[in-house]
Amino acid sequence: MTDLKGIDLNLLVSLDTLLGELNVTRAAHKLGISQSALSAQLARLRALFGDPLLVPAGTGRGMIATARALDLQAPLHTALKALEVTITRPSTFDPMTAERVFTIAASDNAMVLFGCGLVERLSGTAGPGIHLSFRTPSVAQILSQLESGELDIQIGSNRAVPPTMKARLLVEENYKVVQRKGHPRGTAPLDLEVYCALDHVLVSPAGDRYGYMDEQLEAIGRRRRVVMTVPQCFQAAMMVRTTDYVSTLPCRFVSRLTDWLDMFDLPFDARGFSLYAAWHPRNHADPGHIWLRRQLAEVAAAPASAGSVGSRAKSGG
């Protein structure tokens, strides 16, 4: 078997032209190379195929293809044309007919804000061959997963986006404090003293007891009581619902839970966060990936409403 790694594609292009012209001079002109250069290529082709391929015509004008060359002519021309079309044809993506799995890393907060809306949107804009696979993000593995192609998109805060990745801002978000209905402290607005004295559930995928809100409180010389950490926003909300604990969670997330939680403004000027979609630069011009990012951006831009899904995220404070 011939080792294709050792074959110069230009030789095959020259052979296709030679077999079409049966004349070295005309073929060289058509290829834009000198006659001597084409003669050298013909010598290499003869060595490659172990056949003369072209022999002088009896009339002294032009050349005649050998039997081996005639066997090669049609399939070689077809293969080169197919390769030309593959290389020059613009890449396209039709979501109604394509078959593709898109893998997205998203927290439960991001799933509430984007995932359900994205699935709903795709039900009307994509065919049965498009599938979404959502994964829980792992901060330590995000970069390698994006680089390897294991992930198509990461949805995460500005602090979690690897600097070498492409990224698009989806939303700006703030925080609210939540407590259960009927909490013994009542429903009065929070002041800083009360906020710091309450028992807090912190959303921390790694289990750290020092979070984003703690950084900001420390900057103003205050501390709060963190009595529990959980990895997801939903777990924090469920814990708050059944205890006298409170939690500081993304505003749009908790706005969907007001049937069973009370929501309050923070008693200090706290910074929010930005939520981004991030992807590897190699996928930046991929039509399917562009389509997916556009769907995600349109879901993010849709007005959010309590009890529905559609706009923003990060792990809680």
Asked whether the CA dihedral 223, 229, 230, 234 is positive or negative, the reply is negative
Rg (CA), the chain: 32
Within the chain, which residue ranges are assigned CATH 3.40.190.10? Answer: 100-172+274-301, 175-271
Q: What is the rounded CA–CA span in Å between residue 312 and residue 225?
A: 27
Predicted local distance difference test score (pLDDT) of residue 229: 97
Predicted local distance difference test score (pLDDT) of residue 288: 93
Mean pLDDT, range 137-156, rounded to an integer: 89
Q: Answer for the pair 14, 27: CB distance below 8 angstroms, yes or no.
A: yes
Say yes or no to pLDDT of 4 above 70: no
pLDDT tens readout for residues 212-260 = 999 999 999 999 999 999 999 999 999 999 999 999 999 999 998 999 9
Burial of residue 167 (CB within 10 Å: 0-12, 13-18, 19+) is: middle
Query: Which residues does 254 contact at the CB level (< 8 Å), separation at least 6?
Result: 176, 178, 237, 261, 263
* Of 157, 175, 188, nearest in space to 270 by CA: 175
Within the chain, which residue ranges are assigned CATH 1.10.10.10? Answer: 4-88
Say yes or no to pLDDT of 9 above 90: no
pTM above 0.85, yes or no: no
Question: Domain 100-172+274-301, CATH 3.90.76.10 — does that match?
Answer: no
CA distances from 247 to 106, 113, 185, 189 (A): 21, 19, 14, 15
Say yes or no to pLDDT of 112 above 80: yes
- What type of residue is 181? K
Name residue, tokens 């998203």.
106
* Of 313, 172, 181, 179, nearest in space to 253 by CA: 313
**DSSP track, 114-144:** IIHHHHHHHHHHS-TTEEEEEE---TTTHHH
Rounded to 5 degrees, what are φ and ψ at 101? Answer: -110, 125
Predicted local distance difference test score (pLDDT) of residue 315: 34
Say yes or no to pLDDT of 196 above 80: yes
CATH, range 4-88? 1.10.10.10
| Residue % of the chain over a pLDDT of 70 | 93
Pairing of strands 153-157, 273-279: antiparallel
Pick the CATH number of 175-271 from 3.20.20.60, 3.40.190.10, 3.40.220.10, 3.40.718.10: 3.40.190.10
Predicted local distance difference test score (pLDDT) of residue 2: 55
Confidence of residue 90 (pLDDT cuts 50, 70, 90): low
pLDDT tens readout for residues 291-316 = 999 999 999 998 754 443 333 333 33
Predicted local distance difference test score (pLDDT) of residue 97: 93
| Residue % of the chain over a pLDDT of 90 | 70
Q: Answer for the pair 23, 63: CB distance below 8 angstroms, yes or no.
A: yes
Pairing of strands 225-230, 273-279: unpaired
Mean pLDDT, range 148-160, rounded to an integer: 90
Mean pLDDT, range 129-152, rounded to an integer: 90
Q: What is the mean pLDDT of the chain?
A: 89
More confident residue, 186 or 304: 186
Give the Cα-Cα-Cα angle 172, 175, 179 (nearest 5 degrees): 150
Give the single-character DSSP code of 283: G
